[in-house]
Amino acid sequence: MREKIAGLIYPLLFVFILTFAAGVHHASAETQYVSDSIVITMRAGKGDQYKVIRTLGTGTPIEVLEEDARYLKVRIQDGTEGWVLKRYISSRKPKNLIISDLENQTDRLRNDLAALEKSAMPSRMNSGLSGKT
Tell me the CB-side half-sphere exposure of residue 57, using CA atoms within 13 A.
4
Domain end residue (candidates: 88, 107, 123): 88
Residue pair 74/83 in contact (Cβ under 8 Å)? The answer is yes
**Residue 25 belongs to a domain:** no
pLDDT of res. 120: 82
The rounded distance, in Å, linking the Cα atoms of 55 and 59 is: 12
Query: Looking at residues 63-76, what average pLDDT do you find?
Result: 94
Residue 123, SS3? helix
Q: Which residue has the higher pLDDT, 100 or 74?
A: 74
Domain count, the chain: 2
Residue 72, SS3? strand
Smallest CA-to-CA distance from 89 within 102, 70, 109, 112 is with 70
Q: Which residue has the higher pLDDT, 37 or 45?
A: 45
**Residue 112 belongs to a domain:** yes
**Residue 70 belongs to a domain:** yes
**Residue 114 belongs to a domain:** yes
- 42 forms beta bridges with 54
In a shared domain, residues 45 and 84: yes
Q: pLDDT class for 9, splitting at 50, 70, 90?
A: low
Range of the domain at 97: 92-133
In a shared domain, residues 46 and 63: yes
pLDDT of res. 79: 96
- Which range has the worst mean pLDDT, 3-17, 61-75, 97-111, 113-127? 3-17
Instruction: Summarize pLDDT for 79-111 with one digit per residue, the tens.
Output: 999 999 999 998 887 777 788 889 999 999 999
Total number of residues shown for the chain: 133
CATH of the domain at 60: 2.30.30.40
In a shared domain, residues 49 and 67: yes
